[in-house]
């Protein structure tokens, strides 16, 4: 659990620099999980050491997985195969991490032992019915608070059968939980989703040797096919790069090169959105790392205009809407974000949080049931805002403050450790050019 701190950000004149952002959070979780479930040794480089991924790592240690961290920042995991996990001695604490809790629910539902998953005050409020329902339809026995919809979750694992599941939401966590459960049982498990959510699980499971097929509208996995340990190189997190992309665009006289950023098309909606707003972002040095596309991103200050955002762009940029709303506050005209009801059940209600934070700096922003409407282009004043314990709200407001008329104090700022260790130091470094 991070400390409660506050930070003061002063306006800046031009941002400069070339740097790499920390490893991708989604890919790091999956690298730890799939390496643990594989047979043999895996070597992982570039892993994100944020609190969320450390929760996943300690969860697997408590399930009997041996992990060695080398001096040159490589993680070596001795996988135990699909049937090798051991019953944990204690409750597993997922901290703030929805990905840990939901994907672990899928894995643990299939294990022939008892386990309990809990999390911090924010995670215990988030909806877990979305994974409990499909897993229960596979035969899982999961109990939870609030009529079996909230953590702590008690899982009496084993005895599953395959399923064809039509998910009502585009959620990579739901899709992954069901596929991971399906990997442990005889037969084929299929998940259909209304829009394609991030496909890191599908890519990496195939990379580890799973018999998994992606098709338009979903993915199908064949059960009881063992994974084999591999070498994984984790690319930089586009969701972390997003803060510096917006910073580079809204602070005049800026030019920033972000190296080695993952640009998986199911995640790169932020680049499309910012380019549609008129942002100058150039992709160079495109290549592939362990089955994931990566590139260097060059961003330059730009005059932005408001746009309408909805439909398939939403899941492709789902974690970036706090910082998109900051870009919109600096864009001429109106930006409307729709079809994004999911923002209400992230680490916090991100629609309410951004309306509160940007509204208090004088931005004309109104919440919609499934998004927000922002009239941009007026100067933002400084003052004081609360992150509500949400890492992406804290970082988005730090970016807004770079081009405000006076300094901004951000309360509860240490939550950035969840996904972006070193964020404040990096912000300081680019500010000095």
Minimal distance, residue 200 CB to ligand S3P, in Å:
7
Interface segment toward ligand S3P; rule CB under 6 A; list 37-45, 165-173, 320-328, 364-372: 165-173
Q: Contact at 8 Å (CB) between 383 and 6?
A: no
Q: Beta-carbon neighbour count of residue 69 at 10 Å?
A: 13
By three-state DSSP, how is residue 291 classified?
coil
Using CB under 6 A, pick the residue from 99, 115, 190, 254 that binds ligand S3P. Answer: 99
Q: Beta-carbon neighbour count of residue 186 at 10 Å?
A: 10
Residue 38 to residue 324: CA distance in whole angstroms: 38
Minimal distance, residue 239 CB to ligand S3P, in Å:
7
* Catalytic pick among 24, 93, 319, 390: 319
Residue 428 to residue 415: CA distance in whole angstroms: 17
Strand partners, 232: 44
Q: Is 364 a catalytic residue?
A: no
> What beta strand segments (E) does 272-398 contain?
280-289, 292-300, 308-309, 333-337, 364-368, 371-376, 383-386
Could you tell me which residues come within 8 angstroms of residue 428 by beta carbon, excluding any fewer than 6 positions away? Answer: none
In the bound state with ligand S3P, the residue whose beta carbon lies nearer, of 12 and 198, is 198
Strand partners, 39: 80, 228
Minimal distance, residue 102 CB to ligand S3P, in Å:
7
Residue 136 to residue 138: CA distance in whole angstroms: 5
In the bound state with ligand S3P, the residue whose beta carbon lies nearer, of 109 and 171, is 171
Residue 82 to residue 154: CA distance in whole angstroms: 21
Q: Beta-carbon neighbour count of residue 121 at 10 Å?
A: 9
Q: Is 172 in the site for ligand S3P (CB under 6 A)?
A: yes
Residues 317-376 touching ligand S3P, rule: CB under 6 A, are: 318-319, 342
Element (H, E) at 368: strand 364-368
Residue 42 to residue 299: CA distance in whole angstroms: 35
Minimal distance, residue 104 CB to ligand S3P, in Å:
12
Binding to ligand S3P by CB under 6 A, coded x per residue (else -) over 17-56, reads ---------x--x---------------------------
Using CB under 6 A, pick the residue from 105, 111, 197, 301 that binds ligand S3P. Answer: 197
Query: By CB under 6 A, how many residues form the interface with ligand S3P?
Result: 13
Minimal distance, residue 196 CB to ligand S3P, in Å:
10
Q: Is 171 in the site for ligand S3P (CB under 6 A)?
A: yes
Measured CA angle at 56 (ends 55, 59), to 5 deg: 85
3-state secondary structure string across 395-415: HHHHHHHCCECCCEEEECCHH
Minimal distance, residue 346 CB to ligand S3P, in Å:
6
Residues 175-194 touching ligand S3P, rule: CB under 6 A, are: 176
Interface segment toward ligand S3P; rule CB under 6 A; list 168-176, 218-226, 295-303, 382-390: 168-176
Minimal distance, residue 350 CB to ligand S3P, in Å:
10
Interface segment toward ligand S3P; rule CB under 6 A; list 64-72, 169-177, 182-190, 288-296: 169-177
Interface segment toward ligand S3P; rule CB under 6 A; list 143-151, 166-174, 223-231, 407-415: 166-174
Per-state percent for the chain, helix, strand, coil, to nearest 5: 35, 30, 35
In the bound state with ligand S3P, the residue whose beta carbon lies nearer, of 318 and 357, is 318
Q: List residues near ligand S3P by CB under 6 A.
A: 26, 29, 99, 171-174, 176, 197-198, 318-319, 342
For the annotated catalytic residues, the residue numbers are 319
């Amino acid at each position: 659990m991070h400390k409660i701190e506050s930070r003061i950000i002063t306006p800046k004149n031009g941002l400069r620099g070339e740097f790499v952002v920390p490893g991708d959070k989604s890919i790091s979780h999956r690298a730890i999980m799939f390496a643990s479930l594989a047979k043999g040794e895996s070597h992982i480089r570039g892993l994100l050491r944020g609190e969320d991924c450390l929760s996943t790592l300690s969860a697997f240690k408590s399930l009997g997985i041996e992990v060695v961290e080398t001096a040159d920042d490589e993680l070596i995991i001795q996988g135990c195969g699909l049937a090798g996990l051991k019953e944990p001695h204690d409750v597993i604490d997922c901290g703030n991490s929805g990905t840990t809790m939901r994907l672990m629910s899928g894995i643990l539902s299939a294990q022939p032992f008892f386990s309990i998953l809990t999390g911090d005050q924010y995670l215990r409020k988030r909806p877990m019915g979305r994974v409990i329902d499909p897993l229960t339809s596979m035969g899982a026995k999961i109990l939870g608070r609030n009529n079996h919809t909230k953590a702590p979750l008690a899982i009496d694992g084993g005895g599953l059968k395959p399923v064809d599941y039509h998910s009502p939401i585009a959620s990579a966590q739901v899709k992954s939980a069901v596929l991971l459960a399906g990997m442990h049982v005889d037969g084929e498990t299929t998940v259909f989703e209304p829009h394609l959510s991030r496909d890191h699980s599908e890519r990496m499971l195939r990379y580890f040797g799973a018999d998994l097929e992606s098709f338009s509208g979903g993915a199908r996995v064949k059960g009881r096919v063992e994974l084999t340990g591999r070498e994984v190189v984790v690319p930089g997190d586009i969701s972390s790069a997003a803060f510096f992309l917006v910073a580079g665009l809204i602070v005049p006289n800026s030019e920033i090169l972000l190296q080695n950023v993952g640009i998986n098309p199911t995640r790169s909606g932020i680049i499309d959105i910012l380019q549609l707003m008129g942002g100058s972002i150039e992709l160079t040095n495109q290549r592939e790392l362990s089955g994931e596309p990566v590139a260097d991103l060059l961003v330059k200050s730009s005059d932005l205009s408001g746009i309408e955002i909805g439909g398939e762009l939403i899941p492709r940029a789902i974690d970036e809407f706090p910082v998109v709303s900051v870009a919109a506050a600096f864009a001429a005209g109106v930006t409307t974000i729709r079809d994004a009801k999911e923002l209400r059940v992230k680490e916090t209600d991100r629609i309410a949080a951004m309306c509160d934070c940007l509204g208090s700096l004088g931005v004309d922003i109104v919440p919609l049931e499934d998004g927000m409407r922002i009239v941009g282009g007026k100067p933002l004043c400084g003052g004081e805002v609360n992150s509500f314990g949400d890492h992406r709200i804290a970082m988005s407001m730090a970016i807004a403050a770079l081009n405000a008329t006076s300094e901004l104090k951000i309360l509860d700022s240490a939550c950035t450790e969840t996904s972006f260790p070193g964020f404040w130091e990096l912000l300081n470094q680019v500010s000095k050019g």
